[in-house]
Structure formats: structure tokens, C-alpha cells
Amino acid sequence: MPVASLLIAVVLGVVIATLGVGGIFYFLARSGRLPMQSGSSARVDTVAPTTPHVMTLEPLLVNLTDGGGNAYLRVGLTLRVADVVSNEKAKDEKGGDARSGKDVDAAAVRDTALAVLGRQTSEGLLAADGKERLKTELKAALAEHNRELKVTDLFFTEYLVQR
């Protein structure tokens, strides 16, 4: 009988020690303190490389939709754009047969910005959250109307509201 109780005690000790070490390993792995390599079964997404660039527009001057018709907005915009580089575009640039897409993109962006800015009122633009609301509205309109142009950020370089 003493051998059986000794065997039970040893097995119980091994189980408790294994659970303790496993618990510590689990805690360290979940907290990020234990560096682990991901296995070969991890899925790798291939993403086309992006090249960020800045697009600066000439200042825009628009009449606002205030009642008197005397209010206007002068705004300068700079856009941070991330273009996905495709193989065809890279080949065109190397071969010298590339289109002048930057002029077309700038004209499309100016058109979209003028449409959004022309719907504003001086009260809305001079409100506490007027600039941020306008940025959000411009980003949404640019994403909707210019799908091939990925605008990641928008900056006001000039902002003047005249009543």
C-alpha cells in the first residue's frame, strides 16, 4: 500500500507541475513577453506596394451659400495620396509611354473640392468643428468621385472665410 500512495503522490506532483509551467508559458505568450515565430501555416496576404506622394492644389476661391451672396471661402489644399503601383504603370514609365495622369487627377480633385466647398455656409465653416467636418466631407467626396486616387490625409494650407 505505501508504494501505491507514493505513486499517486508522484503522478499528482507531475500533473500540478505541468499545469504550473503551462500556465506560466500561456501567460508569457499572451502578454507578448515570450517571442514566438509564427508557423508556416500563417496566411500571407500579398499587397501591392504603395508610394505615398503629396498633391498640392492651387488655392480655391468659392462663393458660399449664405443668404446675402457676399460670403466666400478661400482655401488651399494639400492631399497625401497613396497610389498603388501596378506593373503596367511601371512599364509605361520605363518605356516613356506614360500618360499625363497627374494633370487629370488634379483637375478631378479640384472639381470635386469645388462642388463640396460650394455647398458650405459661413456659419458652418466658422463653427467650432467646421474645419474637421469639412475635412471629413471632402475626404468622403474624394473617395466617392475619384476611386483610383487613394487620399490618406487632407491638410488646409490656407483657410479664409469672408462675410
Q: For 22-56, how does the pLDDT look when each residue is reduced to its tens digit (9 = 90+)?
A: 888 888 888 777 776 655 555 555 666 667 788 89
User: How much is the pTM?
Assistant: 0.59
Give the CATH H-level superfamily of domain 50-162.
Answer: Band 7 domain (3.30.479.30)
Q: Tens digits of per-residue pLDDT, 95-148?
A: 444 445 667 788 889 999 999 999 999 999 999 999 999 999 999 999 998 888
Cβ atoms of 39 and 119 closer than 8 Å: no
Nearest Cα neighbor of 94 from 105, 83, 86 is 86
SS (H, E, C) the chain: CHHHHHHHHHHHHHHHHHHHHHHHHHHHHHHCCCCCCCCCCCCCCCCCCEEEEEEECCCEEEECCCCCCCCEEEEEEEEEEEEECCHHHHHHHHHCCCCCHHHHHHHHHHHHHHHHHCCCCHHHHHCCCHHHHHHHHHHHHHHHHCCCCCEEEEEEEEEEEEC
User: Nine-digit cell at 65?
Assistant: 451659400
Confidence of residue 5 (pLDDT cuts 50, 70, 90): confident
pLDDT averaged over every residue in the chain: 81
Confidence of residue 151 (pLDDT cuts 50, 70, 90): confident
